[in-house]
Structure 1
Amino acid sequence: MSTPPPPVPYFAVHVNVFTKPGTASSFLSASLSNARSSSLEPGVLRFDVLQDKSDENKFVLVEVYKDEDVSPKAHKETDHYKVWRETVEDMMDKPREAQKFKTYFPATEEGWGYGGRKLE
């Protein structure tokens, strides 16, 4: 058995969000706006918004950054993040939970990124 490769330098976060009943649509709208702006940040490689198929009040935000320290902190200082945080705060059924991950594959920035394209 071969030794696994070291992780690549990118950093991934899965943010689990549970919204209050009746707020999923508003949360999704605010989160999509935040994701579109976040995907244009220089340190962000991916910013995905996922909604559970069986529970409309459960979401996962998948964030992939170029590094673990600078880019996530810079993201939290952006105006769009601050607006999102204030907008969705009262929609949360419980505090959001973040899981942090090492990344192994894809091994290149291009594999994670949007190729500099503006996403809709």
Structure 2
Amino acid sequence: MRRDVFQAIADPTRREIINLVAFNSMNLNAIAENFDISRPAISQHIKILTECGLIVIKKNGRERYCEAKLQQLNEVANWIERYRKLWAERFDSLDELLNTIQNKDKKPGAEK
């Protein structure tokens, strides 16, 4: 099953796994120690993250290490940016309206 990056980051456990391996690769046992869920559940989350390309698993001897590959998050950042711009424009318009109302109230003879 092909999954997308949005599906991967929708789950808080997967987001936390990404946070754990973002700067240092970790083996599966070290990742699992950070959660109160079973090792198979962690493996399932890691499987989803690898299917989305957010994590790669590298073998070092008998150990398997997870490394973050966060380039896929650019897709999320690009999607969010459209809405950030929209809301920034709306807040700018609200600021202008509030300034206009405030300045109108400051004029001499304005009712208070």
TM range (shorter): under 0.3
Bigger relative contact order (CA 8 A; separation at least 6):
1
Q: Which has the greater radius of gyration?
A: 2
Higher strand share: 1
Higher helix share: 2
The normalised TM-score by structure 1 is 0.24
